[in-house]
Homo-oligomer: A and B are copies of this chain.
Amino acid sequence: MQKYRDKGLKLTPQRLAIFEYLDGNRSHPSAEDIYTEIIKKFPMMSFATVYNTIETLKKKGDLAEITIDPERRHYDPDTSHHHHLICKTCKKIKDIHSDFSIHIPEDQKGTFEVLDNHIEFYGMCHKCKTKGE
C-alpha cells in the first residue's frame, strides 16, 4: 500500500477496502460488483468513489479494463498479459496464462504493425455442461 501513498494518493478507508477486495481477485468484477462488496463495510460509500478509485488505479496501471461484456465494464487487477476463457452460459471467466505465438499472414496484415493480442475463448464450464445434459 506504501506504493500508493508514495504517489501522492491518500489512503482512505474506502480505498483500502477496494484495494483489498481487488488484490488477487480473479472474478473480473464490474463497478457494481465492487460497490456491492464494499458497501457491506462502508454503507455510506457512493458509486462515485468506486468509479474514482477505478480511474485512479487504471491511470497507475494497476487495473485493466476488459472489454468482454457489452452490458457493462469489467475490471481485472491482473494487468499481466493473459487471455480469457468465458463460459457461454454463466459468463464465468477463467484466466489463461499461456503464451500463444500467433502470426497474421502478410497478405492479411495489410499495412498494420501488430503489437499485441488478446484471445477470448468461449466454451462451457463444467457446471453448466452437466446441467444442460
Say yes or no: A109-B85 contact (C-beta < 8 A), given A70-B73, A119-B102, A124-B115: yes
A108 cross-chain contacts in B, Cβ below 8 A: 96-98
Copies of this protein, total: 2
Structural contact, B88 and A112, CB atoms closer than 8 A:
no
Please encode chain A, from 31 to 45, with 1 for each CB lying within 8 Å of some chain B CB and 0 for all others.
000000000000000
Interface of chain A: mostly helix, strand, loop or mixed: mixed
Say yes or no: A110-B124 contact (C-beta < 8 A), given A67-B68, A102-B119: no
Report how far A98 CA is from B4 CA in the complex, Å: 44
Size class of A's contact patch? Answer: 35 or more
Other-chain residue from B67, B112, B123 in contact with A94 (beta carbon distance below 8 A): B112
A120 cross-chain contacts in B, Cβ below 8 A: 117-120
Q: Taking beta carbons and an 8 Å cutoff, which residues of A are in contact with B? A: 65, 67-70, 73, 85, 87-88, 94, 96-98, 100, 102, 104-105, 108-126, 129
Contacts A65-B70, A102-B119, A116-B123 known; 6 new A-B pairs at CB < 8 A: A88-B115, A94-B110, A96-B104, A98-B108, A112-B126, A115-B124
